[in-house]
Amino acid sequence: MLSEQEKKKIFNKAMYVLEKVGIEIKHGEALELLQEAGAKVEDQRVYLKPYHVEEALTSAPKYVPIYDRNGELALELGSAENYFGPGSDNPSTLDLDTGKRRQSKLADVKNFSLLVDALPNMDFLMSMALPQDVPPELADLYQFRTMTVNNSKPFVFTSADNRNTVELFEMAAAVVGNRDVLEDKPFFIQYTEPTSPLVGSEDALGRLLLSAEYGVPATYTSGTLPGASSPATPAGTVVMSLAEELSGVVLSQFKRPGAPVIIGGAASPMDMKTAGASYGLPAAILIDRALSEVSKYLDMPVFSEAGFSDSKLIDGQQAMEASISITEMARSEADLIHDVGYLESGQTGSLESVVIGNEIVGYIRRLQEGINLNEDHLALEALKRVGPGGGFLTDQSTMNTFKDLYQPELLDRSSYDSWKEKGGKNFRERARVKAKKLLDEHEPIPLSENKVQNMDEIIEEEESKIG
């Protein structure tokens, strides 16, 4: 989408913002690190020189491997691959049985975890649900335990603030054995983000610096509301977001050179008709694509978004918006692409929507594979055998290669009569049936009892502190 010259222009404008406008830093240790490095500090406003950013970009890893819970390499950030997964922390969930919107529960975190573990095109997990039936002070600990027990894929984890980050990292270390193993083979990424416009909060920077200390990869990606928390124009939002994120790269490298950090970011422009955030506006995808491309220009791993909808339920709008965003971001160079399954602009999660997103990703991945041009697929021998006026249905070449045509699971291509005989189910109903089947039948790789007990002991200790 952007030329090399345009990427360079955006980067230079972000450097200008860091040097002339500055970033407000609300974290004591972060301010000390910046002062020691020679940055100009006025109260909490910090001004970074271009060499601060350039040195940090040289130090930050270009390649970040992420492992699954069992220590097997699962994601290679900084490669040419797109990885897809759901989003996090929806306060509401569409109930799979009733289809009604209700408050999210811890059981929903479990269901989303099991579903993602079972779906082949979901490469990583996020919680999708913010449980309302557990103490809010400990919700992130409950989420982490539930996700780890019910899913063996890597996950991206976010928490409300920094109060439990040490406990989360200690739970993760208990799962893999110890801190050294966690650093060597991290199975999760800590999500944190600046506060737009141009503020690094105490909580966000606390998570970022602690991630660097533990050697756990961290995102530091802007989540803007263009027209409110960032400029209304895509270009202005991209420049501001990049400046925010680069300040995080600088801080992570000042804390620990070589600390893995991921940038990129996403936007939900304000719909001026409703004053609400919109994931589905074209401007959102333009901003996401641009941030992805500029981040890759800087040789940084990228976190972005797709597969979402502003719709309140599973309908044509949901299918349209999810399909367009997944298609566009699959064409980008983003590594981690989250929010598959989001409804209501990130307020509601849906198991059916995740299943549909998995189907879309599979379809797009088949398109990305292109046309196979090996000798069997060029089919010259088959053409000789069949000849003019013949038929290929009974030729062995068809049996050998027909699966290359791709067979989706949810899309119905039967005749009308066959469709009616099978129950006449619409797209959402078929997605619901598949979700229920996977939840009933899928068994995740079990986590040993002593590792679960280690996590439970940490949670029990924190429970005792709040009574």
| Strand partners of residue 40 | 47
Evaluate whether 288 touches 332 at the Cβ level (below 8 Å): yes
| Pairwise CA distance, residues 8 & 6, whole Å | 5
Please name which of 147, 220, 165, 157 lies closest in space to residue 189, comparing C-alpha atoms. 157
Instruction: Map residue 100 onto helix, strand or coil.
Output: coil
- By residue count, the chain amounts to 467
**Residue 303 tokens, joined:** 């976190």
Predicted local confidence at residue 51, as pLDDT: 97
Please name which of 297, 438, 243, 301 lies closest in space to residue 358, comparing C-alpha atoms. 438
Residues 151-178 pLDDT 10s: 999 999 988 778 899 999 999 999 999 9
| Pairwise CA distance, residues 158 & 155, whole Å | 10
Residue 352 phi, psi (nearest 5): -60, -40
| Pairwise CA distance, residues 34 & 251, whole Å | 7
Cβ neighbors of 321 (< 8 A, separation 6 or more) are 279, 280, 308, 309, 310, 311
| Pairwise CA distance, residues 243 & 248, whole Å | 9
| Pairwise CA distance, residues 258 & 59, whole Å | 5
The bridge status of strand 83-84 relative to strand 199-200 is unpaired
Alpha-carbon separation of residue 66 from 15, 306, 409 (angstroms): 30, 21, 29
Alpha-carbon separation of residue 141 from 52, 311, 429, 462 (angstroms): 36, 30, 34, 9
Q: Which domains does the chain have, with CATH numbers?
A: 58-368 (3.20.20.480), 375-404 (no CATH)
Would you put residue 58 in left (φ > 0), alpha (ψ -120 to 50) or beta? alpha
Residue 201 phi, psi (nearest 5): -80, 165
| Pairwise CA distance, residues 23 & 151, whole Å | 38
Please name which of 103, 125, 106 lies closest in space to residue 116, comparing C-alpha atoms. 125
Residue linked to tokens 């069949």: 386
Residues 14-72 pLDDT 10s: 999 999 999 999 999 999 999 999 999 999 999 999 999 999 999 999 999 999 999 99
Residue type at position 254: F
Predicted local confidence at residue 273, as pLDDT: 87
Q: How many CB atoms lie within 10 A of CB 397?
A: 16
| Pairwise CA distance, residues 432 & 438, whole Å | 10
Can you list the residues of the chain whose pLDDT is less than 70? none
Residues 292-302 pLDDT 10s: 999 999 999 99
Within 13 A of 45's CA, how many CA atoms are on the CB side?
A: 8
